[in-house]
Structure 1
Amino acid sequence: MPHDHHGLDPKSGDRRVAAAIWANALLTVAQVAGGLFAGSLVLIADALHNFSDMASLVIAFAARRISRRPADARMTFGYGRIEIVAALVNYTTLILTGFYLISEGLMRLVDPPGVDGWIVVILGCVALVVDTLTAALTWSMQKGSVNIRALFLHNLSDALASVAVVAGGILILLYDIRWIDPALTLLIAGYILWFALREIGTPIRTLMLGSPPDLDMGAVIEEVRRVPGVRDLHHVHLWQLQEHEAALDCHIVLEEEGWPRLEAIKAEIKARLNARFGIGHSTLEIEHPQAAHPPEQEATLPERA
């Protein structure tokens, strides 16, 4: 039976995500109703954040299921990248939510409405419990998946936002500070934008076929150059095939005396790439030194030492 990268059985992970979906759905309904009744924008803001969590969980759940499909004629590399797409969608919705909350918060900061502090405190505490449990459900799963990491950070930010909601409700009850509600909304929105903009670069880099950030392209090239019989290499392309699978495509120019050992040299290159860098998918085009393709329109490669 296949397992997730975090070591959980896929069905167990799916059950955790499904439970988190239902918890966030119920919480969203309660917060929207409470926010409208109490006249609290910060509750509505937290509800919108939780609704985006629920949507993110649904997307992530679907992506997890689709990613386990085997490769076929339409998707010859498999469906693993759907989780990268899901993460990008989730971070994008967070950014849009953040900007919406900023606009609403600024308008209410000018003319703060009356707010029922008790409803804010009670629903804020309920939200804090649900958000903490949801984050706990996804904590052990997020270490090996950018898709689930987006969810975990989403839930963690919700828990922190709920702390701010409770604190705001207490201040309203004690001191009738009406402006605290829209002010906290702006703080929550700012935090949402900060961490979403910080994290969104990872799925964008992967979808743009950027080189894996944890791999040194120069070290990969030098390792191939050290294989006996290799003169040089060019047209080197290193990218993430899927989240946990790097791929390499390059042209290898052999020395004249290396041609009788062509297959052995190719096998050694692949073995070194896999052993040192975890590159399990490599496409190598072998060239004779007198018929090598010119290295045009490619990334600048380090000079041979």
Structure 2
Amino acid sequence: MPHDHSAHEQSGHGRPEHGSSGRGHHHHGGERGLGMAVAINLALTVAQVVGGIVSGSVALIADAVHNLSDAVALIIAFAARRIARRPADGAMSFGYARAEVVAALINYTVLVVISLWLASEAAMRLIDPPEVAGGIVMALAGLALVIDLATALLTWRLARESTNIRAAFLHNLADAGSSVAVLLGGLLIWLYGLRWADPAITLLISGWILWHALSEIVPVIRILMLGAPPEAEAEAVRRAIEAEAGVEGVHHLHVWQMDEHRASVEAHLVLADGADGGEAVRRVKARIAEAFGIHHATFETETRASGCAGTGCRIGQV
């Protein structure tokens, strides 16, 4: 009852080194942009907090807190990215790539807490709107909009390959939308004296952050809970395997995401009488790789006559 180990060599127990194949300059340049984005967001946070206090704008302070969370998220993402590139070892045989997933969970959880806090602050101010200096609000919101768009550009390259950086990239686009909202609030206060516009817009910002964080945290939790990739649910994988010639059944089937980029599958294959186990495993692996993009696979073969090799399992069980 052979085990298939070739998938382990193919996957290398980890992602390719980021600096390989002439891509080192690309990644170092992207990470320098990440550092610049952190510095810019920290400077903007200080300016917005001071401006919010001077002008009395809770919306401006809300935007500042969101910018601070973006800077912290970028720092966490950068640290996790460095950890994730460490090669597999005896303690972490799958490698350290899940460090980025853990960091993403931290970032999104913090965003949820921040959004709820902002909503409570805005609700209290909506009951008794304070005086707000609309001109200062508009000036700093305009500056924030420019910086948010610049930060998004700085993180765009790395966003295509990392869930952490992608989240930061999307957050900055959300910040740009928030800055537009704050600009509108400042304009309404300046033109018409609508003091309730500032806390009302803060509620909209809070709702936007909450919606964004909750929608992005779901796939992160799915990975940490060893869920199958959405495109490779266990039943779909089962059907693909059982369609292969020489395979009569599948049990002890497990499909899970190891990290953002890699999935794994293991199963017991019940072979037809006379089927070649090695050839059947090779065909099944090729089908799974082609249909679902899964290259990390371990299969154990058996027949109905031999029974299941696993302790306490039986033919036909999941």
> TM-score with structure 2 length normalisation?
0.87
Q: Which has the higher contact order (CA 8 A, sep 6+)?
A: 2
Tell me if 1:263 matches 2:283: no
Whether contact under 8 Å (1:53, 1:154) holds in the other structure is yes
Alignment partner of 1:238: what SS? strand
1:2 to 13, 18, 28: 18
Equivalent residue, structure 2, for 1:282: 297
In structure 1, the partner of 2:98 is 81
Q: Give the alignment of 1:171-186 within 5 angstroms.
A: 171-186=188-203
Q: 2:250 aligns with which of 230, 233, 238?
A: 233
**Residue 214 (structure 1) shift:** 1.9
Report which stretch shifted further, 214-223 or 177-186: 214-223
Q: How large is the RMSD of aligned CA atoms in angstroms?
A: 1.8
- CA distance, structure 2, for counterparts of residue 184 and residue 226 of structure 1: 56
CA distance in 2, matches of 1:65, 1:25: 21
Q: Deviations over 1:247-273 (max 9, x none)?
A: 101111112212xx2222222222222
Counterpart for residue 20 of structure 1: 37
Contact 2:250–2:316 under 8 Å retained in 1: no
Could you tell me how far apart the structure 2 residues matched to 1:296 and 1:48 are? 55
In the alignment, the residues of structure 2 paired with residue 178 and residue 189 of structure 1 have an alpha-carbon distance, to the nearest angstrom, of: 18
CA–CA distance in structure 1, aligned partners of residues 18 and 68 of structure 2? 31
Deviation string, structure 1 residues 28-78 (Cα, Å, up to 9, x no partner): 011111111111111110000001101100011111111111111111101
2:196 alignment partner AA: W
- 1:167-208 CA distance string (max 9 Å, x none): 111111112211111111111001111111112101011111
Structure 2 residues without counterparts, runs of 5 or longer: 1-16
Displacement of 1:230 in angstroms is 1.6
SS at structure 1 position matched to 2:258: strand
Aligned CA distance change for structure 1 residues 297 and 112 (closer, same or farther; 3 Å): farther
Aligned partner of 2:287: which letter?
A: R
3-state DSSP of counterpart to 1:170 = helix
Q: Distance in 2 between matches of 1:235 and 1:83?
A: 29
Give aligned-pair identity as a percent: 50
Amino acid across the alignment from 2:286 = A
Whether contact under 8 Å (2:41, 2:71) holds in the other structure is yes
TM-score, scaled relative to structure 1: 0.91
Q: Residue in 2 aligned with 1:294?
A: 314
Spell out the pairing of 1:1-305 with structure 2 (5 A cutoff). 2=18, 9-258=26-275, 261-290=276-305, 291-292=307-308, 293-294=313-314, 298=318
Shift of residue 297, structure 1, vs aligned partner: 7.5
1:127 maps to a residue whose letter is A
**Counterpart amino acid of residue 100 in structure 1:** W
Tell me the number of residue pairs that the alignment of Structure 1 and Structure 2 aligns: 294
Are the counterparts in 1 of residues 255 and 265 from structure 2 also a CA contact under 8 Å?
A: yes
- Which amino acid letter does the alignment assign opposite residue 40 of structure 1? S
